[in-house]
Structure 1
Amino acid sequence: MRIGFFDSGIGGLTVLSEALRRLPDMDFLYMADTLHVPYGTKAEEDVRAYILDSVGLMMNEGIDALVVACNTATSIAINDLRERYSLPIVGMEPAVKPAVEMNRATGKRVLVFATPLTLQLPKYYALVSRVDELGIVDSLPLPELVHYCEKLQFDTAIMQDYFRTKLADYNLDDYGIIVLGCTHYPFYKQILREMLPAHIEIVDGNVGTVKRLSALLSRYGIAGGGGSGEVRFMCSGHEPAYIDKMQKALAILRERDALSESLAT
């Protein structure tokens, strides 16, 4: 069985890395829409068309399930994709609900990092309105962060300066959790941990997404896929250099995952 992962660029690799840990007996096809990355600063209707075209290419290659590993793409096109295709489809949304529940008893606020487009979409406002009855959620657009990530800019000093500039107007003592509301952003989780106050937790939706995927595969009777964790990459721009970049970025993530696991044991 082969599971498709789709994102505008390398961000969805943070979700794929989690899937490789939890679903080692599946194979994977990862598609990046490199012709149009980033989505977060583009018009909604244009992005919807890009997504449908890209997923159509993935379907032609043969996939048994699809993860839309992008918060923006999920908000814009998940309903269209489910109407068009009958296979299991899992989307993503910023982990606002668990963050609010975790902070409910602390009196601290929640700060959501996301792309400008995600924060402008009705789906995000509906999510916050549904779960934030205490009014503790604030949102911070980080339009430049996807560009940094796509360039594999992970220099600690450079990125910490960037985050300090963006957070300059926020009293971090007021916050208990930061939500990484774009799949590119977990690439910077360790850099953020090193600079943020120790009391602030950093959460994303990756683990929850892969758990939902696993449950959905079981429901469809396609759990235990007989694969070997093979990953095939493709991109809309057909650039060999970008495929090399995706392989490098995934290797970085898997190395970090292995280090985290070793430190935890």
Structure 2
Amino acid sequence: MKIGFFDSGIGGMTVLYHALRLLPKDDYIYYADTLHVPYGEKSKDDVKKYVFEAVDFLSQQNIKALVIACNTATSVVAKELRKKYSFPIIGIEPAVKPAIIKNQETGNRVLVLATSLTLKEEKFNNLVTKLDSDHIVDGLALPGLVKFAEDFEFNEEIVLPYLKSQLGSYKLNQYGTVVLGCTHFPFYKDMLKKLLPEQVDIIDGGIGTAENLKRTLKETNSINEGIGAIEYYRSGVKVENEQTLQQYAKLFERLHQI
């Protein structure tokens, strides 16, 4: 049986990258909802509809677990998905808790980079309200990074000016941690490092999500059931174009380099 991965686009591959390192002897099916990407600027009802359509498809592909490798989808619909499907569903959310714990001690602030919908969602705001007693968390939506990633745009001359313009109004030396609250954003970690002061660390939930997946499979004795093969689907259509598959392989190479 395969492990299902779902995202609105290619962002979830940053989580799949960690899963492949932890679980190299399992097989995967990756579903990118490219017809409807990006999710972060859409309504909750639309996102729910798209996610249920995708997971209905994946449920028919003999999967033993599902990773919702999309912060927006997790925040909007993960709870409802778990009520409908019997296989384990592992979500991802911005790594706010470790960032707050670290920076409460230092007095530095935390900047959460995410999509507009994630930052507006009740789940995220409840988490911040519960943990952020010192009010050190700020949020910034970066929809342009999602578009850049979906266009396979990693040219610094194009991306860096966008990041500079978005971060320009923030006093970055006041921050201790930047949280990448969208799975598309780790593709640009190297560029963010060029703009952030040296003391600022960058974290995301991808590694923790992959570790959670491994723990879940161990608990159900369903680990190491494959050869590390990956099937890709774009809104229900299997990806067989060699050029596209090569682009996906290059994304893993990029993550390995940064």
- Same-fold call, TM > 0.5? yes
Check 1:249–1:100 CA distance in 2 against 1; reply closer, same or farther (3 A cut).
farther
**Residue 225 of structure 2 corresponds to residue 226 of structure 1:** yes
Distance 2:88 2:180 in 1: 25
CA contact (8 A) 1:35 1:237 kept: no
* Residue aligning to 2:250: 252
Amino acid at match of 1:218: K
Contact 1:17-1:250 at 8 Å conserved across structures: no
Contact 1:5 1:68 in 2 (8 A): yes
Q: Is 1:85–2:92 an aligned residue pair? A: no
Provide the rounded CA distance (Å) in 2 between the counterparts of 1:149 and 1:111.
21
Per-residue CA deviations over 1:35-65 (Å, capped at 9, x if unaligned) read 1111001110011010000111111121110
- Who is 1:95 aligned against? 95
Please, what TM-score do these two structures have when normalized by structure 2? 0.95
Q: Residue 27 of structure 1: CA displacement?
A: 0.5
Give the Cα separation in 2 of the matches to 1:123 and 1:165.
28
- 2:217 aligns with 217
Cα separation, 2, equivalents of 1:188 and 1:241: 27
- Equivalenced residue count is 258
Question: What pairs up with 1:121-200 in 2 under 5 angstroms?
Answer: 121-200=121-200
- Is the deviation greater in 192-201 or in 85-94? 192-201
Task: Report the CA distance between 1:250 and its aligned residue.
Answer: 3.6
Instruction: Give how far 1:95 is off.
Output: 0.5
Deviation at 1:236, TM superposition (A): 1.1
User: Which amino acid in 1 is paired with 2:229?
Assistant: E
The alpha-carbon deviation at position 238 of structure 1 amounts to 2.8
Give RMSD over aligned pairs. 1.7
| SS class of match (1:105) | helix
Pick closer, same or farther for the CA change 1:207–1:69 going to 2, 3 Å: same
Q: Deviations over 1:91-133 (max 9, x none)?
A: 0100100111122221110000000011111011011112111
Q: Classify 1:147/1:240 alpha carbon distance in 2 versus 1 (closer, same or farther; 3 Å).
A: same
1:70 corresponds in structure 2 to 70
Q: Is the 8 A contact 1:25 1:226 kept in 2?
A: yes
Shift of 1:212: 0.8
SS in 1 for 2:60: helix
Q: Give 1:244 deviation, angstroms.
A: 4.5
Moved more, 194-203 or 2-11: 194-203
How far the C-alpha of 1:181 sits from its partner, in A, is 0.3
Paired letter, 1:156: E
Given that 1:113 and 1:180 are in contact with CA atoms closer than 8 Å, whether structure 2 keeps it comes out as yes
2: distance between equivalents of 1:104 and 1:207? Answer: 23
User: 1:159 deviation in Å?
Assistant: 1.1
Q: Does 1:238 align with 2:237?
A: yes
Summarize the Cα distance change of 1:130–1:33 in structure 2 as closer, same or farther, 3 Å threshold. Answer: same
Residue 104 of structure 1: SS of its match in structure 2?
Answer: helix
Other-structure match for 2:2: 2
Give per-residue Cα distances to partners, 1:119-161, cap 9 Å, x unaligned: 1110110111121111110000112221111001111122111
Determine helix, strand or coil for the equivalent of 2:46: helix
The Cα shift of 1:217 comes to 1.1
Q: Which consecutive unaligned segments of at least 5 residues does structure 2 have?
A: none
How many percent identity over aligned positions?
47
The corresponding residue for 1:263 is: none
SS in 2 for 1:64: strand
Instruction: Mark the CA change 1:241 to 1:34 in structure 2 (over 3 Å): closer, same or farther.
Output: farther
Find the residue that maps to 2:106 and give its secondary structure: coil
How far does residue 239 in structure 1 lie from its aligned partner after superposition? 7.5
Does the CA-based 8 Å contact 1:51-1:73 persist in structure 2? Answer: yes
Displacement, 1:258?
4.0
Relative distance call for 1:28 and 1:239 in structure 2 (3 A) is: closer
Q: Give the residue type in structure 2 aligned to 1:49.
A: K
SS in 1 for 2:25: coil
Where structure 1 has 5 or more consecutive residues not aligned to the other structure, the ranges are: 261-265
Distance of 1:240 and 1:66 partners within structure 2: 19
Equivalent residues of 1:233, 1:243 under 8 A apart: no
Matches of 1:28 and 1:183 in 2, distance apart?
18
